[in-house]
Amino acid sequence: MTKLKGALIGCGFFAVNQMHGWNDLADVEIVAICDRDPKRLKIVGDQFGVARRYASAEAMFADGGFDFVDIATTVNSHRALVELAASHKVPTICQKPFAPTLEDAKAMVAACDQAGIPLMIHENFRWQTPILAVKAVLDSGAIGTPFWGRVSFRSGFDVFSGQPYLAKGKRFIIEDLGIHSLDIARYLFGDATSMTARTKRVNQAIAGEDVATMLLDHANGMTSIVDVSYASKLPEEPFPETFVEIDGDKGTLRLGKDYKLTVHGLDGTTQNIVAPNLLPWASRPWHNIQESVALIQKHWAERLAEGREPDTSGRDNLKTFALVEAAYLSAEQGKTIDLGDLLG
């Protein structure tokens, strides 16, 4: 069997999950890694037995010998690295958040289009087992046509110890976490046409907002609420669970704590636990996210082999990223933002 050869840039906190995900795929091999921090390069190189190690992405691309690149760095480096990959015509995965601005994100999509290469944003939350289970119920028609929805992530978990950069940016929860919830809302309820948002900073030790409440109008007439918080001190910490509520004309669906999915509709009332699998390399409470990493990477390998655009392509993710931009604009200006104006 000829293996698909990959390279990974950025060997930090989250990249370890991505390396495990690639390791699990029998037909994929990561042949080169890159990080400007020699300590991270050594830790990840030694853990996963990767011999080709680079301090510079330019040097790694110049040597080549891989079929795709997985960019796992933080947001400010994304545009330059994606454009570098495009200049070498290497199919590219880029971590969320897509880019610092929508203008950068559009330029990245254009660069990959011009190079004729696929670009996938590593937007993994829609690949979580409980979210896939919600989507399957909706698609089955069990609650009829949905008219209202809520995607909610409220937590008091200390994300700053693992990811200290999250405390420093002017933008925090919408850009880092809300982006996932907004993508789930698009995945479940369809594209949005307008956004109204309010934000707050409760934790005064950080620079950005840690609470956001967003109201979306969807093209199909649905209304949804996407609410996110890292300032919610709950009796039982739910991190990193996303809760979902959907009302349809024939019933209702509720995804709640401990992955309990309740569907009340045409087939009566059912309750199921739609918990993620605990992969051998995963650890609680991150296993839900970790399994979704493995699943999105499998999807990338399949779509690359088939020559088909991945579900969370750069083009698709522009619409999620536009919601992030719209939320910040709306909160700043105190008005509703038309998505058409942003996407053009």
Interacting residues with ligand 89V (CB under 6 A): 159, 163, 176-177, 180, 240
Q: Nearest distance from residue 240's CB to ligand 89V, in Å?
A: 5
CA 95 to chain CA centroid, nearest Å? 7
Residue with tokens 């699998």: 277
Q: Nearest distance from residue 214's CB to ligand NAD, in Å?
A: 19
Q: Nearest distance from residue 335's CB to ligand 89V, in Å?
A: 28
Nearer Cβ to ligand NAD, position 67 or 176?
A: 176
Nearer Cβ to ligand NAD, position 178 or 265?
A: 178
Q: Helix or strand or coil: residue 299?
A: helix
| Residue 159 interacting entry, from ligand NAD, ligand 89V, none, C-beta within 5 to 8 Å by type | ligand 89V
| Residue 11 interacting entry, from ligand NAD, ligand 89V, none, C-beta within 5 to 8 Å by type | ligand NAD
Phi, psi of 69, rounded to the nearest 5 degrees: -125, 140
d(CA 98, CA 183): 12
Nearer Cβ to ligand NAD, position 75 or 120?
A: 75
Instruction: Please tell me the total number of residues recorded for the chain in this structure.
Output: 344
d(CA 291, CA 97): 19
Nearer Cβ to ligand NAD, position 54 or 243?
A: 54
Task: Give the tokens for residue 194.
Answer: 């307008």
Q: Nearest distance from residue 119's CB to ligand NAD, in Å?
A: 15
41: left (phi over 0), alpha (psi -120 to 50) or beta: alpha
| Residue 152 interacting entry, from ligand 89V, ligand NAD, none, C-beta within 5 to 8 Å by type | none
Cβ–Cβ under 8 Å, residues 34 and 52: no
Asked, as a colleague might, if the bond just before 310 is cis with ω within 30 of 0, I would say: no
Nearer Cβ to ligand NAD, position 50 or 137?
A: 50
| Residue 122 interacting entry, from ligand NAD, ligand 89V, none, C-beta within 5 to 8 Å by type | ligand NAD
Fill in the DSSP letter of residue 98: -
Q: Nearest distance from residue 97's CB to ligand 89V, in Å?
A: 8
Phi, psi of 207, rounded to the nearest 5 degrees: -90, -30
